Amino acid sequence: MQLVHDKHVHTRFSNGCPQTLELVCPHCLKESSFLPKSWHEHGRQVAVAEAPCSRCEDNVLFLQLLEDSNGVHKAAELYLHPPSAARDSVHGVEHLAALSGPLGRTYESALKLYNRTEWGASALMVRHLLQGLATRLLGEDKRDLPLPRQLEALAEVDLAAPLRDVSGLLAPDGSFGREFVDEAAIDQATAGQLLELTEYLIAYLVVLPGAMAELKSRIATAPVPLRRSSAG
């Protein structure tokens, strides 16, 4: 089962179940329409429907978890089977769009091209994205540098600001530091925020460097694709 994000649901029935979906088919890997017509509820907790791909016509199973609120069913999480090989947007992509609308759209375009199996076009769009991101983050004096030099120059960008912000929050007079005076008074919201903050730090300090090192290793050991010889 694979989670289907709400952005793929274009219309819904009155009971909240999807009526029209636009997503990459897990069978033919093309952007397709799905029109599930008959949703069958089971135990008032799950609704299930099948719909054929508008391109290859293979069926996809959709499973909708339902939430019961005062006797009224409201749509909750939606899943599909079989899982798709398509890539979905990275978590937190809205922050990229907030930094720059054009960069957010370039990322979405690169993702769509990848999911359409247009590898070369996707790679070129990714390069445009990296150039745009570096240009957006660097000063005027480095914006005309070649991309490799721009990426090197990103090391000069203040990436330690999040750590300074955290240190202030945990200082004795900080928002979280004050809470530790009486740990019995710490409520669920505060504990949850502190845990979320720590998870972001783990991702920033541990997961990201580790994942980048692993990716670099895979790139270094990947077979080199053969170039097509030019005619003539």
Find out whether 84 and 26 touch, Cβ atoms under 8 Å. yes
| Residue where one domain finishes, among candidates 22, 50, 81 | 81
| Residue where one domain finishes, among candidates 81, 109, 137 | 81
| Residue where one domain finishes, among candidates 81, 98, 132 | 81
Q: Which domain holds residue 36?
A: 2-81
Note whether residue 138 is domain-resident.
yes
Could you tell me how many residues make up the chain?
232
The pLDDT of residue 75: 52
Note whether residue 224 is domain-resident.
no
Give the span between the Cα atoms of 52 and 95, in whole angstroms.
35
Q: At what angle do helices 188-202 and 161-170 cross, to 10 degrees?
A: 150
Note whether residue 231 is domain-resident.
no
pLDDT tens per residue, range 21-41: 998 888 988 889 999 989 998
Cis amide leading into 82 (omega within 30):
yes
Local confidence band at 228 (pLDDT 50, 70, 90 cut-offs) = low
Q: Are residues 91 and 146 in the same domain?
A: yes
Domain count, the chain: 3
pLDDT at 70 over 60: no
The pLDDT of residue 9: 93
